[in-house]
Structure 1
Amino acid sequence: MQSAIQTEPSATAAFSGWTTRRWLRAGVAGTLLVLAVLGSLGGWAMWRTSEITTQLVDWRSPALIDAMRVEQALVNQETGIRGYGLSGRSDFLQPYAEGVAAEKAALRRLRPLVEGDTRARADLATVERLAGTWQRRIAEPVSAADAQEAIALSTRRATEGKSAFDALRGAMTRQQGHLQSERERAVQDLRRAVTLRNWMFAVIAGVIALVAVLVFEGLRRGVTGPLARLGTAAREVAGGRFDRSLVGTGPADLRQLASDVESMRRRLVEELQFSEGARRLLDEQTEDLKRSNTELEQFAYVASHDLQEPLRKVSSFTQLLQRRYGGQLDDKADQYIAFAVDGANRMQLLINDLLAFSRVGRVHNDHQTVDLEGVLDRTLDALSVSVEESGAEITHDPLPTVVGDSTQLGMLWQNLLSNAIKFRSPDRPPRIHVGAVSDGGVWEFTVTDNGIGIAPEFQEKVFVLFQRLHTKDAYPGTGIGLAMCKKVVEFHGGTIGIDPDYKLGTRVVLTLPAAGSAPAGEREARA
């Protein structure tokens, strides 16, 4: 008992390492073996039934029938000889002749049928011997004699003929009895074989049904059940129950799959915990950023009000000094006063540009359908003086409708076109063209001029805040225009850059989403 208890865990441990494929192979092999055995037994039962049926149909029954035909033929011979011997009428010889022919035919069929049966061969030999004796002693002499002689011969041998034919009749009765008993034994064997065959096929059907039930139950317990439980647990984890442990059952590969999924769940839990911490940190940083933006807005308010007032006083008084004492002091004093006036004006312009830059995406954020044709026309009206003074020629392709803020897009066109006019070549009037090409859900715009161009090493730097490539004496400005353009374009979900392959001036390339696709600023606001 103790050894049996010790053996069971080792056997369980041996089968615990089996995979689903190995279980299926073993199950299929076992099922095929059982089916092969059952098929062999069923085939044997069918062969046995067929053999007995063949023996009964081809040997036993025909042998009995031919034996009875031999008897009938001999009876016909005896009847014909007896009638001829009593009456002398030759017409009685016709049944005799037919009986002889029928006897020969029946014996010719009967001999092969009893070849394998010793007793049947002996019975047939006795019948043939007695029939031959009767025929030599009685039938042949009587049939060969004339009518008178046949009557006399029949009378003399009547007793001998009767005893000889009675002996022949008894031999044929024994022969038919033996053949009948053999046939009945074959019939019994056939019935038993049929019964055995039917029971065999019933057992085969039952075993097949049992095997099907066992296979179904084995698949349910070993494959579908563990997979269903693993799938249920995985769906619970996917539904948010990340504390749900995944325990594998069944074959080794399904347990390994459950272990892998459990490892993935633990990794996801760790990642979620890390993401939750990162989210909290991001929320804190977002709050800090909101406070910083509030402070920047307050700073912008101070810059637009508190700083503007003293700057206007400095600018006003320096201009009064310039108007009142201009020409009364020496040249150096006039130069100093001019420096002060210019510095105050540039400081005021710089503050206004900084305020405009800070308002992009914060103050003006009214996304709607914008007709760029109308925006460009208003921009050209605002730049009409510069266009007229410079002799600029500005052309454009048909401009589409986009989604965005009309004020910011107006600032975009104004900065791009004013830059193209400002940085014109001194030896030719400016020629500016605004192009528009549709590329799926995006419009690509180009602003091309024939001005002084931008060196390749500065084509990225021009979009940086306060980045200037020239002195204020050569080209006035604050260095904020292109930085503001970049901020406007990116706020609308587009891109902007300088075409490095264009060498005849400057070509600014920018993209904006077409009407029907939400810009980046609006997507962020919805998020």
Structure 2
Amino acid sequence: MSSEPSGTASAFSGWSTRRWLRTGVATTLAVLAVLGSVGGWAMWRTSQITTELVDRRSPALIASMRLEQSLVNQETGVRGYGLSGRADFLEPYAQGVSAERTALRRLRPLVAGDAQASADLTAVEKLAGTWQERIARPVSSAPAAEAVRLATQRATEGKATFDSLRRAMARQQAHLEGERAAASRDLRHAVTLRNWVFSGIAVVIVAVACLVFEGLRRGITAPLGRLGVAAREVAQGRFDRSLEGAGPADLRRLAGDVDSMRRRLVEELQFSEASRTLLDEQAADLKRSNTELEQFAYVASHDLQEPLRKVSSFTQLLQRRYGGQLDERADQYIAFAVDGANRMQVLINDLLAFSRVGRVHNEHRTVDLEEVLDKTLDALSVALEESGAEVTHDPLPTVVGDSTQLGMLWQNLLSNAVKFRSPDRPPRVRISAELLGDTWEFAVTDNGIGIAPEYREKVFVLFQRLHTKDAYPGTGIGLAMCKKVVEFHGGTIGIDPGHTAGTRVVFTLPAAAQEPAAPDRKTQP
């Protein structure tokens, strides 16, 4: 006994929401089709009886009564003419004859399908014909004196014949009245049946709607509501909240998938917590390392430079005092020592400047790049004049940043443009600025020796040199410094690969505000 329900439940447990909906809709449509058929039959039955009553029974009874009235008018006119001989009594007779023909034309098709009514009509027509043949037509067609004699002579026969006709018409009308009453009763029964059928249809529709809503509530909306509540609790941080599915198979699978996602989130959170702990430890190590680097920078700027200055001073002293007094090899060694000490001092100073980017100079404020560029050009005036360089630029905007670092950026870019100039032409440098959305794009274009495509990324790496120090002096930190300054301000920098006649360095900086247009400025050497 108990195994069958469990088997049925297990059979339906695999049904999805779509299958439940298809089955429910199909069942509902089938029930509605049956109810519609029953309702249609009830309407058709009522319509048929109404048509029978309105189009046949009632008109047949009315036509029979008009037939009787026409015959009575004929009898009254004939009898009056037969008694008085006055011709004006024949007028009702003539009207009755015409009315009789009209009533018969109307009545014959109405009783064609009813044997009893047809038999009654035949009897009435036969008796009416006998009366008209024996009494009405002879009297109505005779002169006044002859009509009185014929009426008197046939008075008894005429009365008996017309009484028989009256009885036949009474039977006909009684039968037609009975059929009309029966049709009325059938109509009332049909209307009652129709009303009950439609009431039952309404009750069944309401019951089906209640079943549909209850099925949707139990099978779909309630499980979805519980799943939604559980999902919101998980979203609010209760990751230990288990999600249990109910209802159709696809909703249970959905609950299982969401619960699987919850478990994965718990695992990810645990992993993230462990990673965060590790990151905190690494951040502490990085902070400690930065502190050590700052201490190293301090040592490099004070403790290392002092002995380096002594070495440089004494080697230069040796060079001045004993230059030319020793052999050529000794003079060369002293020159190597002086040059190495000087280059070491420059390298240390450049390293210190590189390490200070974003650490020492970190005052973000509104900076007028026109003013910064003017100061940079003043600082480089000697080099620009000696090389015959010409620097032109677009109107430069105002940005948010550190003025010292932006000055270092301009100085390194312009120094490189002058340093790596072509030997057969004076350097020409063009600085352009274009607003792209909320970012300014700057380009420093020169007509120098250019950079080979394979080195366009390498030049921004610290200490990367493309030439020997004898050909082009420097420490290889300039463009690395530019890259660090630009990235510290939230921009990007790179070499334009489409520019071949020289070098075009393109970098971006976040815009501070729109600047009004100004005429192009030109700086002569």
- Give the TM-score of the pair, scaled to structure 1: 0.88
- Is there any run of 5+ residues in structure 2 with no aligned partner, and where? 515-525
| Alpha-carbon separation, structure 2, partners of 1:143 and 1:87 | 12
Residue in structure 2 matching 1:31, options 22, 28, 49:
28
| Alpha-carbon separation, structure 2, partners of 1:452 and 1:253 | 70
Q: 1:146-185 residue pairs with structure 2 within 5 A?
A: 146-185=143-182
Q: What amino acid is the match of 2:462?
A: L
Alignment pair present for 1:406 and 2:403: yes
| Alpha-carbon separation, structure 1, partners of 2:452 and 2:150 | 156
| Alpha-carbon separation, structure 2, partners of 1:375 and 1:49 | 102
Question: In the alignment, which residue of structure 2 is the partner of 1:8?
Answer: 5
| Alpha-carbon separation, structure 1, partners of 2:157 and 2:394 | 144
| Alpha-carbon separation, structure 2, partners of 1:450 and 1:140 | 141
Question: In the alignment, which residue of structure 1 is the partner of 2:477?
Answer: 480
Q: What amino acid is the match of 2:491?
A: G
Alignment pair present for 1:467 and 2:464: yes
Aligned length, in residue pairs: 514
Contact kept? 2:398, 2:513, Cα under 8 Å? no
Q: CA deviation at 1:299?
A: 1.0
The more displaced of 422-431 and 296-305 is 422-431
After TM superposition, the runs of 4+ consecutive aligned structure 1 residues lying more than 6 A away are none
The more displaced of 67-76 and 259-268 is 259-268
The residue matched to 1:246 in structure 2 has which SS? coil
User: In angstroms, what is the RMSD of aligned CA positions?
Assistant: 2.8
Question: In the alignment, which residue of structure 2 is the partner of 1:523?
Answer: none
Residue in structure 2 matching 1:73, options 70, 73, 98:
70
Q: CA deviation at 1:321?
A: 4.0
The residue matched to 2:78 in structure 1 has which SS? helix
Q: CA deviation at 1:168?
A: 2.4
| Alpha-carbon separation, structure 2, partners of 1:337 and 1:416 | 34
Alignment pair present for 1:392 and 2:389: yes
Alignment pair present for 1:274 and 2:274: no
Alignment pair present for 1:345 and 2:333: no
Alignment pair present for 1:124 and 2:101: no
Q: 1:384 to 1:73 in 2, by over 3 A?
A: closer
Q: CA deviation at 1:363?
A: 0.7
Q: 1:129 to 1:410 in 2, by over 3 A?
A: same
The residue matched to 2:512 in structure 1 has which SS? coil
Contact kept? 1:353, 1:480, Cα under 8 Å? yes
- Is there any run of 5+ residues in structure 1 with no aligned partner, and where? 518-527
Question: In the alignment, which residue of structure 2 is the partner of 1:84?
Answer: 81
Q: 1:414 to 1:103 in 2, by over 3 A?
A: closer
Q: 1:258-337 residue pairs with structure 2 within 5 A?
A: 258-327=255-324, 329-337=326-334
The more displaced of 299-308 and 442-451 is 442-451
Alignment pair present for 1:364 and 2:361: yes
- Give the TM-score of the pair, scaled to structure 2: 0.88
Question: In the alignment, which residue of structure 1 is the partner of 2:437?
Answer: 440
| Alpha-carbon separation, structure 2, partners of 1:445 and 1:402 | 12
Residue in structure 2 matching 1:196, options 182, 193, 196:
193
Q: What amino acid is the match of 2:23?
A: A
Q: 1:65 to 1:398 in 2, by over 3 A?
A: closer
Question: In the alignment, which residue of structure 2 is the partner of 1:18?
Answer: 15
Q: CA deviation at 1:115?
A: 1.9
| Alpha-carbon separation, structure 2, partners of 1:131 and 1:449 | 134
Q: 1:237-276 residue pairs with structure 2 within 5 A?
A: 237-276=234-273
Q: 1:204 to 1:418 in 2, by over 3 A?
A: same
The more displaced of 303-312 and 225-234 is 225-234
Contact kept? 2:367, 2:400, Cα under 8 Å? yes
| Alpha-carbon separation, structure 2, partners of 1:362 and 1:349 | 20
Percent same amino acid at aligned positions?
79
Cα distance per residue 1:253-294 (max 9 Å; x no partner): 333333333333333333333233222222221111111101
Q: What amino acid is the match of 1:187?
A: S
Q: CA deviation at 1:78?
A: 2.6
Question: In the alignment, which residue of structure 2 is the partner of 1:520?
Answer: none
Q: 1:96 to 1:511 in 2, by over 3 A?
A: closer
Cα distance per residue 1:459-481 (max 9 Å; x no partner): 43332222233443443332222
Q: CA deviation at 1:156?
A: 4.2
| Alpha-carbon separation, structure 2, partners of 1:480 and 1:64 | 124
Contact kept? 1:403, 1:516, Cα under 8 Å? no
| Alpha-carbon separation, structure 1, partners of 2:225 and 2:134 | 97
